[in-house]
Structure 1
């Protein structure tokens, strides 16, 4: 049987291990620089990347999901070692020339594409720099890795630092399920973990309490608000932005946004700006109407801490149901059993939970197989907890390589079981689960055996979100709802009347949602074009996108981990760009047989299986028969054009 390689979740001597692996890898890179065919060059590099990548991945994962000061102290010591290693590789001119020499040997199409992208990667890693410029580039890379971890740590610790004991009277509007999440013995304790925060902002009738919690949340890791000032990320952010700008200049580019788009499908930062401003123009009239409707319903001008509360109330009035009406029909077991069944039907594979010890009792291990044998494994970590980074993500432990099968981590921060009652999921949380499994399938279903291009490796960043957003669409199919629903007490499937209300309300306030995402994306690309104060850039963007006044305490950017510690710098637009592809792809599959069809399998073959080994847009065109059109996104998002 092929090896899925259980991650080592009790890492010891991680500084020694990383030091040794990078030393070994540098020796092998020296060997590769003397090679003259695929195996003697890329084959050697792939082997090093596989073993070093595994060690780095599990260390990074543990630091995010079971954070402790003692482990983080050791983890931080590995960051300069890793940064210096990649700087050494990126500046290795003999290795660069050896890879360029592969253009003169007989390669298949995948290998040719990998060589082309690897050469570009070297050029973006400073291989052309000499002397002081080369040394400065290395120093920048090392400092960026340290600052990125510091940013993430500050957000986590600031989030954990705030708690508030409240009375039952403060929680009018809460249901039993929401109360259970925050009950601690005889007390009710609020915190800034996402499930608790969203409940408070959605259901609490106490407006002053909503304001207090909103201000605590929106000012995390800053110089204002309630969380300790020692976690202020402003200096960290400024230094990250300055270093990125300097790095781009060293490489002969105008700014970091230009650097970022080199490895994406878009051709220039201006193309990104035009795309986003077009979406803003198309969605703004509808967004204004939605806000006017909401304010008329509320009966007074709205503050930011009112939006979720009155939106939920208005949604209840228009569609005659509330979000919490759905939750009893979506207990955790039904959701995951149904998700697995959907994936099995979609791609003809089998998912099964197995007993295997992991890093935390909450974690489940999922084995994936096909009729031809094992495919890989997922470590599923669903519940929110204190020393766990917020948000949801997929990361990989290892890709497909020789006898090693892909292993992925899928992480969420969702409701957990409480007092004998199973975890009951909001529908938005179910959409998140489908999204992250879309990423995992991209990683697991690869047929590429080169680590540098297997799964999501080598995929342009504005294509990475396609498989995840594509998967979200299936949540709204009646057949899938029947699989993932089952009332936690009666086992009844979601009734037709609630299903209709759910689908009818899918695009409720879609104009406002579109504006919000475009605001983040437009700020991101603009702040990486200029060295102006990043909050002033945000203010300028908000002149186009913000429909209600922003409070003085708003320091959202200080906890915007996607940009400052998550790899989306000058690339946050990828979510909207990939939504265009995902809506277009889903409509094509739905119109040609849907789940289990030949067309659905073509998505697997053209997109998921090839990873980053071929041109991504050309593979999309091969699957779809044409380039994607924005019409599908507007239709799927419910943006009404006049």
Structure 2
């Protein structure tokens, strides 16, 4: 069991290990293709998938969090092997026939759902294609896997390539906490790492410096940027979009958006566009009002590098506190101890840190127990550092399978301890931590023993974000605040006065925030419907959603990893749709007892434990008692209608 829970973070020859895993997979799929029932088909494939999944996951993880040219060269060699294996698997006609035979046997409700979804997956993977078309489909999948990795690599290297030494006078507006992050000996070095970038945009009084840093950040991985043009992603983006379009047409769809939503809960791309445009229409008047208020406060026309700065100043004036006032109350130890206690109160599981070395000294190893029985493990990698991909995410190492327990990686890019101080977190960063643990709980609390449907596996992409968005809501409960806060010097809990200000300011500029997310999602869907230039489509979308000037250096899409290397292509709307579900679910739980109640336990039993083994919307309705309504999202976001 211990070896199953401890990934091998020092692979000597990953090409060889992946090749061996694939050989096993090919042998198992050949055996399964002759099978006639669940045991001789799905059980056989599950064994191979469990092994291959672990090999792939740990390599992908290390390439994201400990990037090096040497490792990446080896990692890139494995991508065609993996892509070709899954392409061959998806196009295996004999295996498709075997699943069709299984469909006619006596199955449980979960098994029926898994077989039905597996057959659809075969169809989306080109199982009906022959000859040249089948070969081309496989070739496209291989090219996309390589291009996706190259896109991600370019963003990382472009981000790391920009640094600047500045004087303390350039950083007027920074507090000691912000200064400590960029102090290097007697000097100060700023960069495009997210915690530093956010501080500069939020607190730096020096407007010209904010402009310079903003332009460097927004133009990363492009041909116009201040950062190296060696990492320009434009050709990669165009090729990815062209290949996606061709792939979708090979299997009978008009465009990639149609192909993508086929495996999601929504009915069609048009339904997604209608949903997003409705949200835009509802949010636009409030967003315009919020921007006018901000512009009047600033006293001049706002540019993009002014938004966070003046928003923070206006927020301070309206609510009489600064974001930095909260930080001392949220040291890392208090936040995680409180988070673990919150999870225990929600679901009856205990989280404890164990003393085990991992791939980096920053990584913490967390074990989950229920009734003294070990049920899973999390590798928690919190701090930002060079050669680590930006953003925050959860990924799985292995799912629940026979004697193997689920293991997850939770990754953030947050502040680290400095100069005798613990890491102190912004409230937004705490929300991010809760979000990613929501994903991890979805993976770890599963009761499904089939790897193809355990945890987040098999969950439609527009349902994956429900547990994470749902978890965010608990950050705003006084009971939880008392658990996660504790002043780093005195241990004092967040005072009521500050807590009420957090609640009052929760939906500050919520119209602008809604508009921004809808802009991303609508661009994503429309760019995968149309063959037009993706930046032209963005300009068309921005005509309605963008309320301030867009600078000529803006190449935001060139670093939009969610779409070009993160699995959200024609699916970014999932964040907003899952927010509808999450707000609706949270309101229901809160009105029916809240943390520790039967409805809280029902969410675990009917959503988290079921994973992808049953129809996701049917499970949601079973939990909630009705279809989700948009009203909950609008209410939770403070959007007036």
The residue aligned with 1:533 is 533
The residue aligned with 2:127 is 127
Measure how far apart 1:5 and its partner are: 2.4
Q: Distance in 2 between matches of 1:550 and 1:404?
A: 51
Measure how far apart 1:312 and its partner are: 0.2
The residue aligned with 1:298 is 298
Q: Distance in 1 between matches of 2:449 and 2:220?
A: 43
CA deviation profile, 1:98-151 (whole Å, cap 9, x unmatched): 001111111000000000000000000000000000000000000000000000
Measure how far apart 1:549 and its partner are: 1.1
Q: Does 1:246 align with 2:246?
A: yes
The residue aligned with 1:23 is 23
The residue aligned with 2:152 is 152
Q: Is the 8 A contact 2:5 2:377 kept in 1?
A: no
The residue aligned with 1:343 is 343
The residue aligned with 2:415 is 415
Q: Distance in 2 between matches of 1:24 and 1:85?
A: 11
Q: Does 1:430 align with 2:430?
A: yes
| Aligned partner of residue 340 in structure 2, secondary structure | helix
1:255-404 residue pairs with structure 2 within 5 A?
A: 255-371=255-371, 373-404=373-404
Q: Distance in 2 between matches of 1:350 and 1:27?
A: 40
Q: Distance in 2 between matches of 1:162 and 1:403?
A: 47
Q: Distance in 2 between matches of 1:5 and 1:380?
A: 14
Q: Is the 8 A contact 1:100 1:119 kept in 2?
A: yes
1:422-571 residue pairs with structure 2 within 5 A?
A: 422-571=422-571
| Aligned partner of residue 439 in structure 1, secondary structure | helix
| Aligned partner of residue 86 in structure 2, secondary structure | helix
- Show structure 2 runs of 5+ residues with no match: none
Q: Is the 8 A contact 1:588 1:624 kept in 2?
A: yes
Q: Distance in 2 between matches of 1:215 and 1:285?
A: 29
CA deviation profile, 1:432-469 (whole Å, cap 9, x unmatched): 00000000000000000000000000000000000000
Q: Distance in 1 between matches of 2:520 and 2:12?
A: 39
CA deviation profile, 1:140-173 (whole Å, cap 9, x unmatched): 0000000000000000000000000000110110
Q: Aligned-residue CA RMSD in angstroms?
A: 0.7
- Show structure 1 runs of 5+ residues with no match: none
Normalising by structure 1, report the TM-score.
0.99
Measure how far apart 1:298 and its partner are: 0.2
| Aligned partner of residue 422 in structure 1, secondary structure | coil
The residue aligned with 2:33 is 33
| Aligned partner of residue 611 in structure 1, secondary structure | coil
Which aligned runs of 4 or more in structure 1 are off by greater than 6 angstroms?
none
Q: Distance in 2 between matches of 1:24 and 1:608?
A: 31
Normalising by structure 2, report the TM-score.
1.00
CA deviation profile, 1:196-248 (whole Å, cap 9, x unmatched): 00000000000000000000000000000211111000000000000000000
1:102-181 residue pairs with structure 2 within 5 A?
A: 102-181=102-181
Q: Is the 8 A contact 1:303 1:549 kept in 2?
A: yes
| Aligned partner of residue 177 in structure 1, secondary structure | helix
Measure how far apart 1:265 and its partner are: 0.2
Measure how far apart 1:12 and its partner are: 1.2
Q: Distance in 1 between matches of 2:216 and 2:609?
A: 44
| Aligned partner of residue 506 in structure 1, secondary structure | coil
Q: Is the 8 A contact 1:3 1:405 kept in 2?
A: no
Q: Is the 8 A contact 1:461 1:571 kept in 2?
A: yes
Q: Is the 8 A contact 1:4 1:376 kept in 2?
A: no
1:279–1:605 distance in 2 versus 1, CA, 3 Å: same
Q: Distance in 1 between matches of 2:337 and 2:91?
A: 49
Measure how far apart 1:4 and its partner are: 4.6
The residue aligned with 1:11 is 11
1:539–1:317 distance in 2 versus 1, CA, 3 Å: same
Measure how far apart 1:372 and its partner are: 5.8
